Amino acid sequence: MGKTFAIGIGGAAGQGVATPGDIFAKIFSRRGLHLNAYNAYQSIIRGGHTFLTIRTGPEKVTNMGDRVDLLIPLNQDAMDRHLGLLTDGAACLYNSETIKPGIAAQGVQLCPLPVSKLADVTRNKVAQNTLAVGAGLSMMGIGFQALEQVLAEQFKKKGEAVVSENIGIARAGYDYAGANFQPFAWPLPMTANRYAVLSGNIAMAMGGAAAGVKFYCAYPMSPSTGVLHWMAAHARKAGIMVRQVEDEIGVVNMAIGAAHAGVRSMCATSGGGFALMTEGLGLSAMMETPVVVIDCQRAGPSTGVPTKTEQGDLWQMLGAGFGDYPRAIAAPLDIGDCFKLIPEIFNVADRFQCPGIVLCDLLLSEGRLSVDPKDLDFAAPIDRGELITDAPETSASNGDGVYKRYRITESGISPRAVPGVPGHTHTAASDEHDEDGVLISDEFTNPTKRRAMMEKRMRKVVGIEAAVPPPVLWGPRDADVTLIGWGSTKGVIEEACEILTEQGIPANQLQIRWLVPLHGDAILDILKGARHTIIVENNFSGQFARYLRSETSFVPDGHIRKYDGEPFMPHHIVEAVKEQLGGKSKLSVPAHEILV
């Protein structure tokens, strides 16, 4: 991955942790640097503990990393929790009037700021934040002009006086650091590149716009609410109708109704809300009306830990709805992929007239990543499948001029007319039905027709599998260890493989993006030559390991699982791999030391 620089900002909710993070992120991105940001916070408005990590560098940064180079604790609690993370070459900027530093490791620079001497704290309660930002940028070797510009943008809505005050405070911190603290040994470089900084929620919302979504609805439920916020803010400009609905039952049925009317329709929720949507997904399947549902996973069960991440909803997605029906389920690999995946899954859902489920999680939904604007294709290919929007003579019929919405075909895909097209009257049936939509249970139950219609729908499974690409192996085929993951663990596993290889343990990676269809034969073909296989996932029971075994009978040599609400760090995986290769365990459960 190359050299990176990480900043950790800790404090209580309400102390303004997010604003310094936003400022650093803007400055780094404008210097042409990549960045990855993750905010570990509590589900309360004020108080608790919040720790924001921003990691940056000239090469792609895929995860939060293992170390913090600059710690900015805004209260004593943050100092006590995180000072021990700092190693040789790191620094800690803190308010010397309210915080005692404790004992730091050898080579850690303690940088006390006399806040009340540098700023009027009676006028500005968060002056320490602005001072620390100025001091930190000074130590990084970044010119003050970059900070001045961002501060002017950050506070312009509050008026010129507030802008001038914050610039003055930042200047005082910048100059004080230059006179009193040692600069970092690695000044942050500048490149000619320019990147957008997106959260996963924003990326999925923008992906929806690129896919041609014209209707979006949701009930606010963290961590999916950011999709609704972006959609609401850009609805008029993007030509999207956006509705906040009373509950998730109403959400999914309203989305299905819009899709039935002919537009691309999308909704998003978390695990608890998705539980209410499952009956509606069955309706989507029986009506053969495509709809895309995003599930942003958080730590469950029940309300669980609303502001923490987990990969615990996989089996809920696999069992969503009763009865058998075709569906597509995919898990984005990173925040950039959150954008790319939405048009792809809409094309699958439209072509095969089935529900599409995007299995995201809080790590991606609320994390932030630098994305090359060239990777944001707003002219993505759109395939609406067998959608009829006008009235040709016989294209939708069996040759007898009669439109049959659920016509039995070899592919399982039937012609789908937008309601109101002349000559294409049909019943959209929620019960089992005949080819024209007439319910077979109204007057009699017809086993032959039921069997034929079920087989018609399920023939789509073969087409869906052919339509989406199988996974590929990253890294040398003859590696000592193969790490298998799915969805958001891609970046951290990738860095763990790099570290292991550097330490003399060649490693490769198999990351699963499409969960349904799974491409089990392709996975077995990849893994048949693997020397030692370990499945890495953010849940307690090994949900993907169980799914893979149920579909392919494959059993890995070991497991690495994390279920404390926090994401993996590279060293968690590296240490667990060494432990398992040494024969000490087949199941490793790393402890997260950043948050106690």
Tens-place pLDDT, residues 120-173: 877 777 899 999 999 999 999 999 999 999 999 999 999 999 999 999 999 999
Whether residue 521 lies inside any domain: the answer is yes
Tens-place pLDDT, residues 531-573: 999 999 999 999 999 999 999 999 999 999 999 999 999 999 9
Phi, psi of 27 (to 5 degrees): -65, -45
- State the residue range of the domain holding 133: 5-180
Tell whether 462 and 480 lie within a shared domain.
no
pLDDT recorded at residue 125? 75
pLDDT recorded at residue 392? 66
The domain boundary, picked from 154, 180, 206, lies at 180
Q: CATH no. for residue 268?
A: 3.40.50.970
C-alpha distances (whole Å) from 543 to each of 291, 318, 473, 479, 559 are: 25, 11, 21, 25, 11
Whether residue 330 lies inside any domain: the answer is yes
SS3 assignment, position 472: coil
Tell whether 455 and 477 lie within a shared domain.
no
Helices (H), 314-388: 314-318, 335-352, 362-366
Tell whether 418 and 498 lie within a shared domain.
no
Tell whether 273 and 371 lie within a shared domain.
yes
pTM across the whole model: 0.96
Instruction: State the chain's mean pLDDT as an integer.
Output: 95
pLDDT recorded at residue 399? 56
Tell whether 461 and 477 lie within a shared domain.
no
pLDDT recorded at residue 443? 64
Choice between 117 and 1, residue whose per-residue pLDDT is larger:
117
Per-residue confidence band for 593, with pLDDT thresholds at 50, 70 and 90: confident
pLDDT recorded at residue 43? 85
Residues 309, 271 contacting (CB under 8 angstroms): no
pLDDT recorded at residue 594? 57
The domain boundary, picked from 447, 468, 489, lies at 468
Tell whether 68 and 152 lie within a shared domain.
yes
Tell whether 356 and 281 lie within a shared domain.
yes
Cα-only R_g, the chain = 27
Residues 471, 523 contacting (CB under 8 angstroms): yes
Q: CATH no. for residue 526?
A: 3.40.50.920
Tell whether 29 and 172 lie within a shared domain.
yes
Per-residue confidence band for 516, with pLDDT thresholds at 50, 70 and 90: very high
Tens-place pLDDT, residues 7-20: 999 999 889 999 99
The domain boundary, picked from 343, 375, 407, lies at 375
Domains held by the chain: number: 4
Tens-place pLDDT, residues 410-431: 999 999 999 999 989 988 989 9
Instruction: Give the burial string for 209-243 (b: 16+ CB within 10 Å, else e).
Output: bbbbbbbbbbbebebbbbbbebbbebeeebebebb
Residue 472, pLDDT > 50, answer: yes
Whether residue 432 lies inside any domain: the answer is yes
Tell whether 498 and 394 lie within a shared domain.
no
Structure tokens at 195: 């990147």
Q: Lowest-confidence range among 60-64, 354-358, 443-447, 515-519?
A: 443-447
Report how far residue 503's alpha carbon sits from residue 442's, in angstroms, rounded to the nearest whole number: 69
Residues 62, 494 contacting (CB under 8 angstroms): yes
pLDDT recorded at residue 281? 96
pLDDT recorded at residue 592? 84
Residue 442, pLDDT > 80, answer: no
170 closest CA partner among 24, 356, 358: 24
**How large is the average pLDDT for residues 70-74?**
97
197 closest CA partner among 20, 35, 66, 340: 35
Whether residue 189 lies inside any domain: the answer is no
Whether residue 532 lies inside any domain: the answer is yes
pLDDT recorded at residue 528? 95
Neighbours of 581 (CB within 10 A): 17
Tell whether 487 and 396 lie within a shared domain.
no
Tens-place pLDDT, residues 236-294: 999 999 999 999 999 999 999 999 999 999 999 999 999 999 999 999 999 999 999 99
Tell whether 215 and 282 lie within a shared domain.
yes
Residue 596, pLDDT > 50, answer: no
Whether residue 595 lies inside any domain: the answer is no
Residues 345, 382 contacting (CB under 8 angstroms): no
Tens-place pLDDT, residues 108-117: 999 999 999 9
Tell whether 345 and 302 lie within a shared domain.
yes
